Amino acid sequence: MAGSGIVCTVWRLHDRAGLYRGCYTDPHSQQRVDDESYKFIVAVPQSTLDRLRDLLRQVCVDFAQKCIYLNIASQVEFIEATSHETNGSV
């Protein structure tokens, strides 16, 4: 897998990650969704950011997520699986 080095870093830091409880309004159903999320803080070289984004797109599919919040140097991105990857599962 292209991001395997990144995966190792994330799993090593898992014990330090915090659980966050919150909610959001699903844009499709307009219903409130209560959610528990983990926050991971990882440091990666700028040259690997595209690999990190690819990994997060795959994680969206693997864990049936609509998107994953990514913050890089205070710039927010919402990473979504590409439509051909989801097959309607998210």
**What are the tens digits of pLDDT across the range 13-53?**
445 557 788 888 887 888 988 888 888 888 889 999 999 99
Domain boundaries along the sequence of the chain: 4-33+42-85
The pLDDT of residue 46 is 93
Work out the pLDDT band at 83, boundaries 50, 70, 90: low
Calpha distance 2→28 (Å, rounded): 32
pLDDT cut 90: percent of the chain above it:
28
Question: From CA 90, how far away is CA 83, in angstroms rounded?
Answer: 10
Q: pLDDT of 11-20, one tens digit each?
A: 444 455 577 8
Q: 16 versus 81: which is more confidently predicted?
A: 81
